[in-house]
């Protein structure tokens, strides 16, 4: 198994190659993640577990057994698959704007026998969910979303009563992830969500390289 340092170096190299292209097309929210099988070797590297702490994240979300969850920017399913396993009576929808990621995650769900997991194509202006959910989780994707305040204002209608949105993204001093100039500081995330009609419900601090914020809609 590769260690955390090797994963960080690989992630840094990927970011160096990827983000100049992304920076040229921010309005479309394009991320250039074609070739899902290739990206799966990076996104689902077991070494990631050491600092991403998926089990702790899942427990911190304290989801009901039958919860409906949408993973926006699901990619190859690092979190979507784990959430589906943790919620056998629930429903998990992986959303991505890259068609090849959607294809890959749907095939992965079938291959791993996860009937409660499906993937669908999203858009820059919203995830276009077919049914309301109890939780939206956005991991390492917030900084990709254009017109974020409008996006999350619209997303309020996709939440069930008591629904929440969890944002996990890299801090500027993280040893992996995109260059700091592309990242959104946690204080700015809080400000944008406040303007979109949310309040901070929880702030978890156990992730070493990422912030972990949970929001809920303000009472109308």
Q: What is the pTM of this model?
A: 0.84
Condensed to tens digits (0 to 9), the pLDDT of residues 49-101 reads 999 999 999 999 999 999 999 999 999 999 999 999 999 999 999 999 999 99
The answer to whether residues 142 and 177 touch, using CB atoms and an 8 Å cutoff, is no
Instruction: Give me the residue label for tokens 């991505």.
Output: 96
Per-residue pLDDT at 19 exceeds 80: no
Query: What does the mean pLDDT of the chain come to?
Result: 86
Partner residues linked to 119 by β-bridges = 94
Residue 135: pLDDT band with limits 50, 70, 90? very high
CATH topology of domain 4-217: Rossmann fold (3.40.50)
| Domain positions in the chain | 4-217
Q: How far apart are CA 16 and CA 12, in angstroms?
A: 6
**Band of the pLDDT at 39, cuts 50, 70, 90?**
low
Six-digit token string for 175: 């040893």
pLDDT of residue 219: 86
Q: How many CB atoms lie within 10 A of CB 28?
A: 11
CA angle 67, 136, 188 (to 5 degrees): 150
What is the pLDDT, as a whole number, of residue 95?
97
**Per-residue model confidence as pLDDT tens digits over 161-215:** 999 999 999 999 999 888 989 999 999 999 999 999 999 999 999 999 999 999 9
**How many angstroms from the chain centroid is the CA of residue 178?**
15
Provide the pLDDT for residue 94.
97
């Amino acid at each position: 198994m590769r260690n955390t340092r090797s994963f960080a170096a690989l992630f840094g190299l990927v970011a160096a190659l990827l983000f100049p292209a992304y920076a040229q097309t921010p309005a479309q929210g394009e991320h250039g993640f074609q070739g899902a099988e290739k990206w799966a070797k990076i996104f689902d590297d077991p070494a990631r577990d050491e600092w991403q702490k998926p089990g702790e994240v899942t427990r911190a979300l304290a989801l009901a057994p039958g919860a409906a969850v949408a993973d926006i920017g699901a990619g190859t399913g690092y979190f979507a698959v784990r959430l589906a396993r943790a919620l056998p009576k629930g429903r998990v929808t992986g959303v991505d704007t890259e068609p090849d990621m959607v294809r890959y995650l749907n095939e992965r769900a079938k291959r791993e026998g996860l009937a409660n997991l499906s993937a669908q194509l999203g858009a820059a202006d919203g995830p276009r969910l077919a049914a309301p959910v109890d939780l939206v989780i956005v991991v390492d994707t917030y900084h990709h979303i254009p017109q974020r305040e409008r996006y999350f204002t619209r997303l309020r209608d996709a939440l069930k009563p008591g629904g929440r949105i969890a944002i996990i993204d890299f801090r500027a001093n993280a040893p992996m992830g995109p260059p700091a100039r592309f990242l959104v500081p946690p204080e700015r995330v809080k400000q944008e969500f406040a303007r979109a009609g949310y309040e901070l419900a929880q702030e978890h601090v156990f992730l070493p390289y990422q912030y972990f914020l949970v929001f809920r809609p303000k009472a109308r």
